[in-house]
């Protein structure tokens, strides 16, 4: 039997409020949209679900508010088989939300962090035992930057590989970014980080996701391009999260970086074929079948 990797995701938990529209409103304009839906989301929760569906033993470190969104999201995460014992419920705080406009096969997102702000360095200190027992750690930038800086400071001591998905972009000192074993920006984030990092990146640390163009691994200045898959796009929300969750699941199983990226790239392609961030995230069997067939 293949090893079940222990993946700890440290990140946001949001309710996604999505509206589909064929006309993007201009400043000061109101338009009539087509459909409204709520879906479970948040980069942390999405990445946790992606890794769990691919067979990882996932623990999520994050926070929700004491409202209906929080209760529903917690139930949903448990149903996905994620260990939520450490998720903190904050009193008199709202659960994070993301208002998402879907238009023209793409999205625009505004996040109201709410309880995600409570994922502080002190909260991480209380859960260091979970981190120490993991095969791999995965985090993003929808939680306080102090927490990311704290995690970076632990990288040498912990000896657990850490992936930073630097989304959404927030300015970070190069020394913090470089402390992570793997950094997985999309093209926009990669461009923004270039200014800060210049020549700091070593080895095969940097992996850029490029939407339908696929993924590039940068190794000692050389680019290894892994092409995307042509699929019917229903909703691109969560494609990057699927990539990151899958990457953690396969690196945690000790697959090579290149093999893990190839599988994560296929998982991300499958994820955009259904509405909502998490609906299209594949199981291990589905992604392996898709790769054989394509
Ligand atoms: O990456 C997609 C996610 O970003 C959405 O689920 C939304 O909650 C925002 O966090």
What is the per-residue pLDDT across 210-261, written as a single tens digit (0 to 9) for each? 999 999 998 877 899 999 999 999 999 999 999 999 999 999 999 999 999 9
CA atoms within 13 A on the CB side of 137: 27
* Alpha carbon of residue 149 to chain centroid: 18
User: Measuring CA to CA, which residue among 218, 214, 213 is closest to residue 197?
Assistant: 218
Residue 200 has pLDDT above 60, yes or no: no
pLDDT (average), residues 119-144:
97
Ligand 1, CB cutoff 6 Å, lining residues: 12, 14, 16, 41-43, 46, 98, 109, 111, 142, 237-238, 240-241, 277
Concerning whether 241 is annotated as a catalytic residue, the answer is yes
Measured from the Cα of 240, ligand 1's closest atom is: 1
CATH 3.40.1190.20 fits 11-293, yes or no: yes
pLDDT in tens, 61-120: 999 999 999 999 999 999 999 999 999 999 999 999 999 999 887 889 999 999 999 999
Please state, in angstroms and as integers, the Cα–Cα distance from residue 238 to each residue in 7, 18, 243, 272, following that order.
Answer: 18, 13, 9, 8
C-alpha 33 – ligand 1 centre gap (Å): 20
State the pLDDT at residue 10.
98
Residue 53: pLDDT band with limits 50, 70, 90: very high
Catalytic residue, candidates 16, 57, 241, 259: 241
C-alpha 122 – ligand 1 centre gap (Å): 24
Mutate to test the pocket of ligand 1, among 238, 280, 281 (most ligand atoms within 8 A of CB): 238
pTM: 0.96
């Amino acid at each position: 039997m293949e090893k079940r990797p222990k993946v700890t995701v440290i990140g946001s938990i949001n309710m996604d409020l999505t509206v589909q529209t064929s006309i993007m409103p201009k400043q000061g304009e109101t338009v009539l949209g087509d459909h409204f839906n709520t879906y479970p989301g948040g980069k942390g929760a999405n990445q946790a679900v992606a890794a769990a569906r691919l067979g990882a033993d996932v623990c999520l470190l994050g926070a929700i508010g004491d409202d209906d969104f929080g209760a529903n999201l917690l139930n949903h995460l448990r149903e996905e088989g994620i260990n939520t014992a450490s998720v903190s419920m904050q009193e008199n705080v709202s659960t994070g939300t993301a208002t998402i406009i879907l238009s023209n096969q793409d999205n625009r997102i505004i996040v109201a962090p709410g309880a995600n702000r409570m994922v502080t360095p002190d909260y991480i200190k209380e859960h260091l035992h979970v981190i120490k027992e993991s095969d791999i750690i995965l985090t993003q930038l929808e939680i306080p930057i102090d927490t990311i800086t704290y995690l970076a400071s632990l990288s040498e001591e912990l000896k657990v590989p850490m992936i930073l998905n630097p989304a959404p972009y927030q300015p970070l000192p190069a020394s913090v970014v470089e402390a992570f074993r793997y950094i997985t920006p999309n093209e926009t984030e990669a461009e923004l980080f270039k200014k800060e990092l210049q020549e700091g990146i070593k080895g095969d640390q940097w992996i850029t996701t490029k939407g339908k163009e696929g993924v590039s691994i940068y190794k000692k200045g050389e680019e290894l391009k892994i092409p995307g898959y042509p699929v019917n796009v229903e909703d691109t929300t969560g494609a990057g999260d699927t990539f990151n969750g899958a990457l953690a699941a396969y690196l945690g199983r000790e697959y090579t970086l290149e093999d893990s990226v190839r599988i994560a790239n296929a998982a991300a392609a499958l994820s955009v074929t259904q509405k909502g961030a998490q609906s299209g995230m594949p199981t291990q069997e589905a992604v392996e079948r898709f790769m054989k067939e394509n």
